[in-house]
Structure formats: structure tokens, C-alpha cells
Amino acid sequence: MIRKNFTSNLAFIIILCLFIHEQCAFGFTKTGTTYTTDGSMQDVSDAIGDANIGDLITMPAGTFIWGDAGAYLSIFKSVKIQGAGIDQTIINISPTASTWTNGVIRMFLDGDESFGGVTINGPAGSNYHSPFSIHAYLSPGIWRISNVKYIQQSGDDGYFVFVHQSNSGLIDNCDVTGGAGSSELIMMRGEPDSWDTDNSLGEEGNVFIENCTFRGQGYVCDANANSRMVVRYCTITDNIKIDGHGVWSNSNPTRGVRHMEIYGNHWASTAGAWAAMEIRGGSGMIFNNVSDLGSGINGAWFILTEYGVCNNNGAFGQYQTPSNYPIRDQIGRGKYSTPGDYTTATSEPMYVWNNLKGGVQWPFNNWAIPLAATTLYGSTFDWEDIIKADRDYFLSTSSFNGTTGIGIGTAAQMQLITPTKNGVGFWVTDEGEWNNQNSGSDGQLYAWNTNQWMLKYTPYCYPHPLVSSNSCTNIPLSIAENRSSLDIKVYPNPNNGNFMLDINSIQSENIYMNIVNILGEIVHTEIISLLAGKMNVPISLGQNAKGVYNIQVFSKKRTVNKRFIVN
């Protein structure tokens, strides 16, 4: 009798365990460092939770619905997520998905993360959905969105990617279709101190949009407050513009784009009155862009402007006039010499050269200055009184003699010219090797500084090093090398929510700490004044639930992560 009961109970326990296992088992399988998922958002999420840094998570061919009832995928560690390919792995965004700045796929950077190899279809209707959002302030990692085809349905004017406070990322080889004229397909806000620090022109510290195709309606990008953006070698088939925002329409924060690099892009549209480039603030380099629209046809406008001149509302509250020069964060302004104080912005002119519309130099267009603005000023004025050549920007000229603009030619030709205007530029065609798809020299920009030519700008390595391994000579110290000088330990681990963080660093600096739960939510954040050597920092999570957490410790150039368990 006892044996019978024991046998019966044992059988029940075995059946119960099998049932529980069946209900709780993951759908993914793992071979080495590669996870194979069933393509559902839940299974990909489970694989991320189980994966180690650097692992590959794959999705099969098929069609999947993501984002029901506001659900989202949290990518909170450095992994690579890869579909079977464009038009093979198809993700349909649910009509009940989250909208605007909160993407269905959210990257909370703790290193280098990537997502690609899929087609994403937005839902029908004007629902403002966003497939991707980046949440990566102060992380030195570089996020990547690659080989994604996105189709925004007609009337939907949300985003393809919304970037929150990040200045290091790559969007490459994507095919993006906008659904409305107001679709800001790649919307970016940079790091809060972007105007307080040196520019990163020609460097890694930018969001790169590279080798993409843009179709339909809207904006290629809205480089918004504090942004540092590079748009290069993209094909724009329809009437879509590259946009750099100024202060006038921005709030939280009221800052303009810090700088943009726009080069090697091709606008194929030959019809309609539309803007191709509209830049409203900051510094930058704009060169070697081409529009197929005829030179005498009204369209493909190239605009350097300031909306504050045309409006008596927004961030300024009244029309801006020459009396307000320099207008806050306007074209030609750079780093604030006093952090946070826009009145101390230094001169940082924009350089514009060799842009062609219909085979000739691409002319500037601009908006009419309102009568009310000239009345406020007391007399008429024009755009040259606001955004002035050879002060706020330099423009290429066919007969360069050093008195104005930018010349183009060999290094020997440049050395024959002694300019009389400080800041004029010269694009030297037989120097600079940064484009690995070309043989020989690719060009670099010099500027005249008082009594000599000085190297001003060399574009960053192309293709981006995350796309292909190459031998560019202008790649800065790698992220991996920067990380090597910082180490942390968590003990005890597991713990009850109270533990010690042991930090070992070779230098003194302020570092930032985030503790992130399995959902990618930041549950604790702290700034630590770090001294060179070893420090012990007590941490208490209070009433946070038991579970697996990831601790991120990082500065602008270094980061390290550890997983720990609260039980």
C-alpha cells in the first residue's frame, strides 16, 4: 500500500514536472554562441535574456506580428540580432503598438548592439508608430541598424528610428519608405552636453546614415537638438529632404543641431517644388552631393536658414533680426566656451563645396523675410545679414584667389595661393585616404589660419568600420581599447539587493552607473566621482524585486557591464 501510494505520487510528480517544463521551456535553441529563435518577439526577448555579450540571435524566414498592446523588445546588452534577410523575415507592426518616441524595438546600449536582415511593415492609418528607438546616453558603444526594409503606410507620419541622446550609431544599407510629408524618418536628439564639447567632424562620435535608399514622402532625417549626424552616400528617389533643426521649433531642450556632415548623396527626383536640404543651425561640411533636377527648374531647394527670422513665436518669442546676431545656435556657431551658456558660442563656420544640381553649382534658396521682421528691425535686411558668407559659411568658387570661399585642386595648387581672408578653405584632391571603395586619394579640407594652411577636416572612414574591416588611417582609438582601463566586480553575487561595487580604474574621472532589469528598465542610477586606483561603493536597490539585473558603469569613452542576481 505504501509502495503503491509512493509509485502513484512519483508518477504525478513526473507528469507535473513535464507539464511545467513544457509550459516554461524556451522556444529558442543554442549552439555555441548562436541562438536560433522562432521569430516571435517573446522568443527573441528570451534569447537576449539568456545570451552573453557578443552572441548572435537569429530569426527565421516567415511573417510575425510584433508590438501587440504596447509590448516591445528590449535589447539591453551587446548582442547581434539577425533575420533571414529582407523580404524573408517580415515583421508587421501591430496597430496597438507603442507610438512616437518609444519604438517597438528599443536599444538600451551597454556596448555594441545590432539589428538587421528584416522587412518591417508599419500598420495602416495615421498612428505614428516607430519600429526603433535608441536609449543610449553616455554609452561609448555603437548601435547599428543594418539591412532593414521599412515601409511606412500611407498617412502614417511616425519615425523609422528615434534616437534619444546618443551621438554614436550607424544606420546602413536600409531601404526606407515614408508615408507622409511630415514623416521624420530618422529623428535624433544628441547628448545634452553636445554644445559644451569640441566638434566631432570627421570622427567616430556621430550618428551615421550610410548607403541607404529613401522613398515616398517626408524627411530623410530630423537632426534635432544637440545632434551630430553624418548622411553619406544615400540615394533619395523621391521628394524627401535632409533636415537639420534650429532652435526656433525645439523645446526640451531649446537647442539646435550641433553639426552635420552631408556628402556623396544623390537625389533622383526630377519633378515638383520641394526642398532637398534644409539646414537651420550649427556647423558642418556639405559637399559632393548631386541632384538630377535641371539647373533652371524650381525644386530640389538647398536652404541655409533660420526659422526665427520668419516667425514671432516658438523658442524666441519674436522675430530675429541682425540685431540678434548671433542668433542662438544659428549656422556658423560652435562650442560654448562657458558650458550651458549659448551667448558664449564660438565661431565654427560651415563649409559647402562641389554640390551640383543639373550639372552646375547647386544654388541656395531661402524664404521671404516677413515685413513685420523688417519693421521690428527698423529697415530692410536680407539673409546675408543673418547668415553671412565668409563669416558663418564658406562656399566653393570656380576662381579661387584666397579672398573668399573655398578652392578645389591639388596640394601644390593650394600652396601657390596666399589668402587675405582668414578661414577660407581649400579641398585638396590628391591627399586623404578615407574611402576604401576608391583607389588613390579621396580629398581633405584645409583652412587658412592667419599665415598658413592648416588641415581642417578629413571625412571618417568609409564604409564605416562596422560594415567592413578596412585600413583607414583616421580611425580613433577603438572602443575595445578604451574599455580596457576600467574593471568592476559585484559582491556578494547573488545578493539581497544590498551589495558592494568594486571599481578599479587607471584614471580619475566622473563615471555613470545604471542598473537595468531584465525588461531593460533603469531601476537605479548614480554618478560616482572616481579616483585612480581601487574604490568600494555600497549599493542598495531598496524594494526592487528579485531577479536578474545588469549593472552598467561607463564614462564617455569607456564602459563595462556585469550581471548579478537579487534573491
Encode pLDDT of 262-279 as tens digits. Answer: 999 999 999 889 999 999
Question: What would you report as the CA-atom Rg of the chain, rounded to the nearest whole angstrom?
Answer: 27
- Same domain? For 348 and 414 the reply is no
Q: What is the mean pLDDT of residues 413-422?
A: 96
Give residue 122's pLDDT: 93
Give the residue from 14, 57, 13, 10 showing the smallest Cα distance to 32. Answer: 57
The answer to whether residues 513 and 522 touch, using CB atoms and an 8 Å cutoff, is no
Range with lowest mean pLDDT among 209-213, 231-235, 264-268, 526-530: 526-530
Of 7 and 542, the structure prediction assigns the larger pLDDT to 542
Report if residue 385 sits inside a domain. no
CATH number, domain with residue 266: 2.160.20
The answer to whether residues 244 and 260 touch, using CB atoms and an 8 Å cutoff, is yes
- Same domain? For 318 and 431 the reply is no
Report if residue 96 sits inside a domain. yes
Report if residue 383 sits inside a domain. no
Q: How far apart are the first and last CA of the chain?
A: 41
Q: How confident is the model at residue 20 (pLDDT cuts 50, 70, 90)?
A: very low
- Same domain? For 180 and 33 the reply is yes
Range with lowest mean pLDDT among 30-39, 217-226, 264-273, 509-518: 509-518
Considering 377, 405, 431, which residue would you say is the last residue of a domain?
377
Give residue 116's pLDDT: 98
Report if residue 17 sits inside a domain. no
**pLDDT of residue 202 exceeding 90:** yes
Give residue 246's pLDDT: 95
Q: What is the mean pLDDT of the chain?
A: 88
CATH number, domain with residue 554: 2.60.40.3080
- Same domain? For 525 and 494 the reply is yes
Give residue 483's pLDDT: 35
- Same domain? For 199 and 323 the reply is yes
Give the residue from 275, 274, 200 showing the smallest Cα distance to 242. Answer: 275
Give DSSP secondary structure letters for 397-451: -SS--SSSSEEEE-HHHHHT---SSTT-EEEETTS---BTTSSS---EEEEEETT
- Same domain? For 213 and 322 the reply is yes
Report if residue 462 sits inside a domain. no
Considering 377, 407, 436, which residue would you say is the last residue of a domain?
377
Coil, strand or helix: which one is 13? Answer: helix
Report if residue 327 sits inside a domain. yes
**pLDDT of residue 208 exceeding 50:** yes
Range of the structural domain that residue 414 is part of: 396-457
Sheet bearing 498-505, strands edge to edge: 486-491, 498-505, 533-540
Report if residue 8 sits inside a domain. no
Of 31 and 135, the structure prediction assigns the larger pLDDT to 31
Report if residue 465 sits inside a domain. no
Considering 323, 348, 377, which residue would you say is the last residue of a domain?
377
Q: Which helix (H) or strand (E) holds 373?
A: helix 371-377
pTM over 0.75: yes
- Same domain? For 442 and 494 the reply is no
CA 334 to chain centre: 19
pLDDT in tens, 505-559: 766 777 778 787 766 677 888 878 877 777 888 998 877 778 888 787 765 455 6
Pairwise CA distance, residues 211 & 363, whole Å: 25
Look up residue 561 and give its three cell numbers.
557591464
Q: Which helix (H) or strand (E) holds 479?
A: helix 479-483
Give residue 481's pLDDT: 38
Residue 52: count of CB within 10 angstroms of its CB:
10
Count of helices and strands (H, E) across the chain: 5, 45
Give residue 486's pLDDT: 66
Under the phi-then-psi rule, with left for phi > 0, alpha for psi from -120 to 50, and beta for the rest, what region is 291?
beta
Give residue 558's pLDDT: 57
User: Any bridge partners for residue 427, and if so which?
Assistant: 408, 445
Pairwise CA distance, residues 506 & 518, whole Å: 31
Look up residue 469 and give its three cell numbers.
574591416
Q: Structurally, how many domains does the chain consist of? A: 3
**pLDDT of residue 65 exceeding 50:** yes
Give DSSP secondary structure letters for 265-291: -EE---SSS-EEEEE-SBEEEEES-EE
- Same domain? For 58 and 159 the reply is yes
- Same domain? For 104 and 179 the reply is yes
Give residue 559's pLDDT: 60
Give residue 520's pLDDT: 63
- Same domain? For 162 and 49 the reply is yes
